[in-house]
A and B are shown apart, each in its own frame.
Chain A
Amino acid sequence: MENILKLITENQQMIYIVILMVFLGIEVIGRVPSVLHTPLMSGANAIHGVVIIGAIIVMGKASDDNYLALVLGFLAVVLGTLNVVGGFVVTDRMLEMFKKKK
């Protein structure tokens, strides 16, 4: 119990961010018209590609003789990049077509 309470105090900044972001995420999405749902899902998909930053950190910290970490970290960087780049490009392609109107 004490442990958990301490955990909350230690991470209060992070917890505030989580709470605010939950409300913000709901607020922002709540006004999206349904016609934009697919690009929105795709755009959100690209944004969670921010996980790539974790992959870069893991990769950049791995020591030279730790092949397991090197290989897994490298894979993580590749997959994360796929998520980010692919996600944004696909979203852009979808939205490009919307923009042609009017």
Chain B
Amino acid sequence: MQLDILTIAYIIGSVTFILGLKMLSNPAAARKGNLIAAGGMTIAILATIFLYQTEDGQGLHNYVWIFSGLIIGSVVGTLAAKKVKMTAMPEMVSLFNGMGGACAALISAVEFDHVYREFRLDENSFAAVVPIGHYITISAGAIIGGVSFAGSMIAWGKLNGRIKDFTFKGQHIVNLLMLAFVATVAGLTYWSNTPVTNIWFLITMLSALVYGIMFVLPIGGADMPVVISLLNSFTGVAAACGGFLYNNKVMLTGGILVGAAGTLLTMLMCKAMNRSLMNVLIGNFGSSNAVAGGPAKQAGSYKEISVTDAAMLMSYAKKVFIVPGYGLAVAQAQHTCHELEKLLEEKGVEVKYAIHPVAGRMPGHMNVLLAEADVSYDKLMEMEYANDEFKSTDVVLILGANDVVNPAAKNDPSSPIYGMPILEVEQAKTVIVNKRSMKPGYAGIENDLFYQPKTSMLFGDAKAALQKLITEIKNI
């Protein structure tokens, strides 16, 4: 009876996960979908605590530990999630993802300890007493969880600027060797006859952590969204390993669902940047960039535009496109941007936003930010539609975006971003670029757009510049 209810709770949990993900695909139902999945998760967790039985029919104990862990985690998690600024959202997701990975790795560690004690592995070899399937799930959970944890921490540090890119020659070869090392030690843990399998296991986990660090360290900031998405699916697989370990269907469904969905999402992102997943994985961006970016193109001269002129241009335009980028997010300028949009609309200017799929630090980052500022949904144009409309646009205002409007992606085969679909803003009559300085963008490459005759630069922090623009436009 007890176990039947547990089974039903797990079925409900699995169904809510699928439903939740499905509803997330529809803007109107998305929030409900998230709540449904959360509800299913709660049911599954509570059912596990009170109804789970081990093979010998024993219930769980250590309730004090379990509940204090749940309470601490809930309080800290809620506070962190509520307090985080919208701009820091990608870091937060990366951080939470790392927690999940660490959780999976710890489960494997405890399970290893359990097996070690039960089968007296200080006297027996692992292979003699434990079926290989069981060992693979333990070891895979530890390795994948560890890589996901370490990698997410590095991604988190990179996104908030605490960790810089780090590359050296032959890095991906070292990384591959590292991966081979992890696999070898994991094999040794199982097959070696030495009485120190626990030390081998420890080395496996530690080297998985090191691999996670090495894996993300060389990958440039432009690839961070892809990396987070990939690590997200890693954690999904690590969770599924736990499902195998305990023959637990809800962990398996949830984990594999996220693993598959995350992998697809990762590939979609790679496609948006016209790079293969392999290329991202071996961290090629940094190194090829160092070579290709070397002979800097003759930096032509650029022209600046005054706020007054920019205001004038925009208020007398028929159609204005705003291209938001990371600069907008950093300056927290989304509300000011919306204000400018409303002001221009009052003057009869048609204002739209052109959203590049990888603008910002995460796909959809710009949509979230602009949604926060109440920008209407139908004003946000995806890349393909925006590109059709630039021809009939009078002014394009670029707010802290760089690589996603770099024409080198179309014209310069030697450029590291060659082939990436971009917003073809140069088709518009005038382009105004707001940036803090002439420094290259996240990918570290020069942007020809800034030196074109129809482009003019409006230097300054996005928020400050927008505020000045608004004041000027009001005065016209």
Complex CA–CA separation, A42 to B96 (angstroms): 9
Among A50, A56, A58: residue with most chain B CB under 10 A: A50
- Contact residues, B235-260 vs A (CB, 8 A): 235-236, 238-240, 242-260
Say yes or no: A47-B133 contact (C-beta < 8 A), given A69-B113, A70-B62.
no
Say yes or no: A100-B371 contact (C-beta < 8 A), given A53-B250, A54-B245, A93-B82.
yes
Does the CB pair B255–A92 fall under 8 Å?
no
Q: Select B246's contact among A44, A54, A73, A77, beta carbons within 8 Å.
A: A54
Complex CA–CA separation, A79 to B104 (angstroms): 9
Say yes or no: A54-B252 contact (C-beta < 8 A), given A46-B37, A84-B41, A98-B31.
no
- Contact residues, A60-102 vs B (CB, 8 A): 60-62, 64, 66, 68-70, 72-102
Question: What are 19 of the A-B contact pairs (CB < 8 Å)?
Answer: A17-B252, A21-B253, A21-B260, A23-B260, A29-B260, A29-B261, A33-B27, A40-B21, A40-B24, A47-B254, A48-B258, A50-B41, A74-B69, A86-B99, A96-B31, A97-B371, A98-B27, A98-B368, A100-B374
- Provide the residues of chain B in CB contact with A81, threshold 8 Å: 69-70, 72-74, 77
Among B45, B82, B362: residue with most chain A CB under 10 A: B45
- Contact residues, B175-232 vs A (CB, 8 A): 228-229, 232
Nearest A residue to B41, CB-CB: A84
Does the CB pair A38–B365 fall under 8 Å?
yes
Say yes or no: A26-B60 contact (C-beta < 8 A), given A48-B254, A49-B100.
no
Does the CB pair A7–B132 fall under 8 Å?
yes
Q: Select A101's contact among B368, B371, B382, beta carbons within 8 Å.
A: B371
Is B156 in contact with chain A by the CB < 8 A criterion?
A: no
Say yes or no: A35-B27 contact (C-beta < 8 A), given A50-B239, A55-B103.
yes
How many residues does chain A have at the interface if contact means C-beta atoms less than 8 Å apart? 85
Say yes or no: A45-B96 contact (C-beta < 8 A), given A39-B364, A51-B251.
yes
| Chain B min CB distance to A10 (Å) | 7
- Provide the residues of chain A in CB contact with B62, threshold 8 Å: 59-60, 62, 64, 70, 73
Q: Select B376's contact among A31, A89, A102, beta carbons within 8 Å.
A: A102
Say yes or no: A52-B31 contact (C-beta < 8 A), given A14-B252, A44-B232, A85-B74.
no
Say yes or no: A73-B257 contact (C-beta < 8 A), given A39-B24, A80-B103, A81-B72.
no
Is B22 in contact with chain A by the CB < 8 A criterion?
A: yes
| Chain A min CB distance to B306 (Å) | 34
- Provide the residues of chain B in CB contact with A80, threshold 8 Å: 73, 99-100, 103
- Provide the residues of chain B in CB contact with A35, threshold 8 Å: 27, 355, 364, 367, 377, 380, 382
Complex CA–CA separation, A7 to B99 (angstroms): 31
Is B20 in contact with chain A by the CB < 8 A criterion?
A: yes
Is B265 in contact with chain A by the CB < 8 A criterion?
A: yes
- Residues of B bordering A, CB below 8 Å: 13, 17-18, 20-22, 24-25, 27-28, 30-31, 33-35, 37-38, 41, 44-45, 48-49, 52, 54, 59-63, 65-66, 68-70, 72-74, 76-78, 80-82, 84, 89-90, 92-93, 95-97, 99-100, 102-104, 106-107, 109-111, 113-114, 117, 131-133, 228-229, 232, 235-236, 238-240, 242-262, 264-265, 268, 355, 357, 362-365, 367-368, 371-372, 374, 376-377, 380, 382
| Chain A min CB distance to B82 (Å) | 6
Among A54, A85, A96, A100: residue with most chain B CB under 10 A: A54
Does the CB pair B376–A53 fall under 8 Å?
no
Does the CB pair A34–B52 fall under 8 Å?
no
Chain B facing A: main interface SS: helix
- Provide the residues of chain B in CB contact with A37, threshold 8 Å: 265, 357, 362-364
- Provide the residues of chain A in CB contact with B265, threshold 8 Å: 29, 37, 40-41, 44
- Residues of A bordering B, CB below 8 Å: 3-4, 7, 10-11, 14, 17-18, 21-26, 28-62, 64, 66, 68-70, 72-102
| Chain B min CB distance to A38 (Å) | 4
Say yes or no: A72-B106 contact (C-beta < 8 A), given A40-B24, A95-B34.
yes
Does the CB pair A51–B255 fall under 8 Å?
yes
- Provide the residues of chain A in CB contact with B261, threshold 8 Å: 25-26, 28-29, 40, 44
| Chain B min CB distance to A25 (Å) | 3
- Provide the residues of chain B in CB contact with A82, threshold 8 Å: 73, 76-77, 80, 96, 99
Complex CA–CA separation, A83 to B69 (angstroms): 12
- Provide the residues of chain B in CB contact with A52, threshold 8 Å: 45, 103
Nearest A residue to B70, CB-CB: A81
Complex CA–CA separation, A52 to B251 (angstroms): 9
Q: Select A78's contact among B72, B95, B244, B362, beta carbons within 8 Å.
A: B72
- Provide the residues of chain B in CB contact with A25, threshold 8 Å: 21, 256-261, 264
